[in-house]
Amino acid sequence: MNKVCNAVCVAIGLLSAGPALAATTITSVAANGTNHLAVPGATVNMTFDQEAGTAFEANSKGLIATLIGPSASRTVVTPNGTTPYGAYAYSPTPYDGNGYFAVGAAPSSLTLAGMGGQLFSSISFFVGTLDNYNLVDLLDASGNVIQSFDGTQMYNDPNGAAPPRGNAQTSDINRRVTFTGTNGTAYNGIRFSNIGNGNQSFEFDNVSFSAAVPEPATWAMMIIGFGMLGGAMRYRRKSSKAAYA
C-alpha cells in the first residue's frame, strides 16, 4: 500500500511542478465618490473606525496589526468644508466620516497580516493624497517581502509619471489601489511605510482582504490525485480477494 501511495504522491508532485514566479496586478482608480468605502464581498475589511484601536479591530477580524515607530496611528478628523471629493485635506478623500490610518516618516510602519498564515488573493485600500514616497510591501506567511511598490507604481500611470502634487482634495491623487496575485501568488499581509525620514506621510483607509482560493489547475490536480488513490485502493482490494480465492 505504501508503494501505491508513494506513486500517487509522486504523480501529484509531477502535475504540480513548474515555475511559479510571484506576480501582482495593480489596479489604481481615482476617487469616484463610492470607491473609498470597503470593498463589498471582501473577506476582511479594516475600517479603522473602532475607538478601541487598530490592534483591537484587527484581532477581532482575524488579523494581526503591528505598529512600529512614533508616527503610526489611527486618526480622526473634523470636517472643514465641502468639495466634490470630500473636505479633509491630507486625509483619505472622499472620507467616510470615521477613522483612517496615517503612517509618518521611516521607521514608522503598519503591518496587517492574516492570523495562522491565512492567505489572500488580493488586498485593496483607499489612499489619500498619494505620494511617490509612499511604500507598500506585500508579505508571505513568514513575513518575507514578495513584492514592493512605491507611490509612482501605485499611481500606475501608463507613461510612468509620478503622482501630481497639488490640491489634496482632487480625485486624481485620492485613489482605490488593489493588488491582485497572479500565477498562483497569494499574500499573508501588507506593510505600509514611507521612503525617507523627513516629513513624509501615508494616509489610507478601508483596507480590504479577499481570501485566496485554489486555482482551477490546483482543483484538477487534487481530483486527479484522489482518483488515482481511489483506483489504487480498489486494485489492492481485488488483488487481496484473488490471493485468498
Is residue 153 helix, strand or coil? helix
Confidence of residue 196 (pLDDT cuts 50, 70, 90): confident
Confidence of residue 197 (pLDDT cuts 50, 70, 90): confident
* pLDDT tens digits, one per residue of 118-172: 999 999 999 988 999 999 999 999 999 999 999 999 999 999 998 887 666 677 8
Report DSSP state, residue 234: H
Going by C-alpha positions, the residue among 34, 4, 2, 103 that lies closest to residue 112 is 103
Using CA atoms, how far residue 134 sits from 91, 128, 162, in Å, is 14, 11, 11
Per-residue confidence (pLDDT) for residue 19, from 0 to 100: 39
**What cell was used for 120?**
489572500
What does the mean pLDDT of the chain come to?
80
Between these two residues, 240 and 194, which has the higher pLDDT value? 194
Confidence of residue 97 (pLDDT cuts 50, 70, 90): confident
Per-residue confidence (pLDDT) for residue 82, from 0 to 100: 41
Using CA atoms, how far residue 118 sits from 122, 192, 201, 219, in Å, is 12, 19, 29, 19
Per-residue confidence (pLDDT) for residue 78, from 0 to 100: 57
Between these two residues, 64 and 99, which has the higher pLDDT value? 64
* pLDDT tens digits, one per residue of 45-95: 999 999 899 999 999 999 999 999 999 999 876 555 443 334 444 567 777
Does a cis peptide bond (omega within 30 degrees of 0) precede residue 214? no
